[in-house]
Amino acid sequence: MRLILVRHALPHRGEAGDGNGVADPGLTELGRRQADRVAEALAGQPVAAIYTSPQRRARETAAPLAGALGMAVTVAEGLAEYDAGDRHYIPVHQMAEADPAAWARMLAGQLPEHVDVEAFRARVDGALGGIADAHPGAATAVCFAHAGTINVYLAALLGLARPLTFPLDYTGITRVTVSRAGRRSVRTINEIAHVADLLDPTTPALPGVPGK
């Protein structure tokens, strides 16, 4: 089967304010245009299922493709980003100024100190493993998630030490195939041809800086 992993589109900065003390911002206007491009890029493919992280920026990125295909979206809790319970959300292009310490760790390819990397990786791997098992054969499942989520999955598949290795752009597409025997192969990472003219000029893809 084929897994198509899509990073969410450009979100707003977010502060806790939805009643449960968690920041969960939606997409900017530019982000909505990026999400529309994902729908255009993937609508012609034989998609069997669409999954999304429970976070709003991922759900809103998935919505145009689901609408174009007339399909329901399944929320997979295991696809949530490492920051899912945080009170603040800072887009990567604002992080150097707003949180220099977090920015420095990201430049080094590391998650925040409070994140249990192995537990996070295991959660993500379990979620994507379950999705693969649910769609055997030649099926394609599209999963809308986050830079950290996709990065730790790729790091596990490729045997990489750093959890944050790849600079993933907003709505960048990554493809993984899973054989009937369970062998997983990375085919592409961060395809952006569909959205190259809509990438925010304030968020350049720096080597080793995958964003959030």
Instruction: Compute the distance between CA of residue 100 and CA of residue 84 in angstroms, rounded to an integer.
Output: 20
- pLDDT tens digits for 23-40? 889 999 999 999 999 999
- pLDDT greater at residue 202 or residue 135: 135
Domain boundaries, the chain: 2-198
11 forms bridges with which residues in the sheet? 27
CA angle 199, 184, 41 (to 5 degrees): 30
- pLDDT tens digits for 37-55? 999 999 889 999 999 999 9
CATH class of the structural domain 2-198: alpha beta
pLDDT band for 204, please (50, 70, 90 cuts).
Answer: very low
Instruction: Compute the distance between CA of residue 30 and CA of residue 144 in angstroms, rounded to an integer.
Output: 17
pLDDT band for 157, please (50, 70, 90 cuts).
Answer: very high
* Mean per-residue pLDDT, 60-81: 98
- pTM, 2 dp: 0.91
